[in-house]
Amino acid sequence: MKRFAPDAAARAQSERILKLFPLKRLMISDNFCKGNRPRRRVFRRPVFQKKEKPRKIRVNPSTVRQLQLPVFYQANNMTEHQTPAAEPQLDENQIIALRREKLHAIRQERIAFPNDFQRDSFAGELHEKYDALSKEALDPQEIPVKIAGRMMLKRAMGKASFATVQDVSGQIQLYINNQGVGEAAHEDFKHWDMGDIVGAEGTLFKTNHGELTVRVSNIRLLSKSLRPLPDKHKGLADQEVKYRQRYVDLIVSPESRDTFIKRSKIIQTVRNYMVGERYLEVETPMMHPIPGGASAKPFVTHHNALDMPLYLRIAPELYLKRLIVGGLERVFEINRSFRNEGMSTRHNPEFTMMEFYEAFCTYERMMQMTEGVIRACAQAVCGTAKISYNGKEVDLESPFERLTILEAIKKYNPHYTDEQLSDEAWLKKEIVRLGESLPPAPGIGSLQLALFEGCAEGKLWNPTFIIDYPVEVSPLARASDTKPGLTDRFELFVVGRELANGYSELNDPEDQSARFKAQVAQKDAGDDEAMHYDADYIRAMEYGLPPTGGSGIGLDRLVMLLTDAPSIRDVILFPQMRPE
């Protein structure tokens, strides 16, 4: 590797130093490098200086500090994480500048970012296959491998060096020495830094401590890392930086990588489960001319060619039910929805849902399906349906409990009386006392729901279906045949938060039209989350919507539950953040 090209100031400084010490190389004393066992370190002078008769002198660390040797002396045999014991750490800008100098030197010598290295092995698979073999059984086989990944650790020790390389499957150790790769290539390797992406070819063996290692015969720098990785022990201490720089979080945090691998597995399990139940996966519009399918405030955009406003969808429900009208009797969709509302540990403006609809069934079937898919996901990623969340067991194996809104209120607040729960004036006072907002929708049912949210919802730890929601807050659900003022609707709560929502679908077009009009009246009265009147959906219903059940599961919250994540931002790769 070429020496670093120093700037004018550094060149002048080195000239002054070399007038004092006319030498070919400096022998730095034993404990110059922090954290290494006692040994001598050789630091070569810059190539632009020539001396007639090279000789050696020993310089102690205090002399080095007094002379303030320029960075390119120290860079030959140490990274920024291996600074002299008494020297301060380089700041990030200095490290980046140093690494850019290294990259510049590489560009002068060869292709800096080659793409012709082909790996044939993954670290995790090698460990899985060969960890059980003893050193005596493995070493004679000299199994050839080609491994590639990011260098996470580096230990340069004279004629031999060790490095730890990380790929998507795990980590494996590399052993590099002069005999294996040659003195020039080994010297080149010593200039590389943690975070660099390397490719290595060699044979497997085990160290005396039994660690699976690649004895390297050829090693190449594939991509130079210009920014230093966070401290390997502290990681990304700032939670906000983790969310903003997820790419760094994934490099340094095995827990984060595991979370998002599990997320992918959960979504795949959901898809497989639904296909196994003979559902058809579909895609419906993400931009709607009329927002609908849920009570929420939408994001608004503008279509230039059509000169019309469009709304990012808040739910896919109405389009999926149009497909039921069209004869696709079992459909589901996994996709993003958007709601222009507040952010919290449970809410992100952009989130992932799975909604599914089936003709000729009721909300009873939807509860069975919801329970089944959640249990299948738990088995897939946790190996059991009895999981732990925040240090407390959650039983997803037993049949999910079912309670009405009033039953749940009285279960966790036995001091409430039936008279109080049917008194609108008392309900309003109690809701305010609990610090909740009064609901915009009129009616005793909406007041009872607001009270439930304030005094019972957060106590539903094990999975519980809350059923029989009031009609005034369920504009798309079918009215109960036996319970006036209520609907055949459920919401599933686990660990104190909503996870799913479903119901027997309202399929009477005249009733649906009247409910849309009631929603419009609420919107005119100031309720921003009330629904619009969707004339095209009414027209579709007039062709005949069969008896239908539907449900929606919040997949972000399901991933939170199954990965023991405290915040929705922990399970979304790039959550919405305020500007930096």
> What would the two tokens of residue 90 be?
């380089």
Q: List, as residue ranges, the binding site for Mg(2+).
A: 491, 498
Q: H helices within 4-89, ranges in order?
A: 8-20, 61-67, 71-74
Residues 254, 563: Cα–Cα separation, whole Å: 13
Using CA atoms of 45, 49, 53, 58 in order, give the dihedral in degrees to the nearest 10: -30
Question: For the domain 254-413+456-570, what is the CATH superfamily, name and number?
Answer: Bira Bifunctional Protein; Domain 2 (3.30.930.10)
- Tens digit of each residue's pLDDT (9 = 90 or more) over 445-500: 999 999 999 999 999 999 999 999 999 889 899 999 999 999 999 999 999 999 99
3-state secondary structure of 387: strand
Residues of the chain with pLDDT under 50: 1-4, 17-88
CATH annotation of 123-229: 2.40.50.140
Mark the binding-site residues, compressed into ranges.
491, 498
Dmax over CA atoms of the chain, in Å, equals 105
Residues 515 and 532: beta-carbon distance below 8 Å: no
| DSSP codes, 410-421 | HHH-TT--HHHH
Q: Name residues whose C-beta falls within 8 Å of residue 342's C-beta, 6 or more positions apart in sequence.
A: none
Tens of pLDDT, residue by residue over 295-304, are: 788 999 999 9
pLDDT tens for each residue of 2-42: 444 555 655 555 555 444 444 433 333 333 333 444 444 44
550 and 321 Cβ atoms separated by less than 8 Å: yes
Nearest of 358, 382, 380, 403 to residue 493 by alpha carbon: 403
Please name every residue paired with 220 in a beta bridge, in sequence order, or none if there are none: 199
pLDDT value at residue 11: 57
- Rounded to whole angstroms, the Cα distance separating 460 from 448 reads 17
At residue 70, the 3 state secondary structure works out as coil
How many whole angstroms separate alpha carbon 405 and alpha carbon 448? 7
pTM of the model: 0.81
- Give residue 89's pLDDT: 66
Residue corresponding to tokens 């058809």: 280
Region(s) of the chain under CATH 2.40.50.140: 123-229
**Residues spanned by CATH 3.30.930.10 within the chain?**
254-413+456-570
Whats the size of the chain, residue-wise? Answer: 580
Q: Two tokens at 49?
A: 């200086």
Q: Cβ contacts of residue 433 below 8 Å, gap of 6+?
A: none
One-character DSSP codes across 135-173: HHHHGGG--EEEEEEEEEEEEEETTEEEEEEEETTEEEE
Both tokens assigned to 222: 């594939």
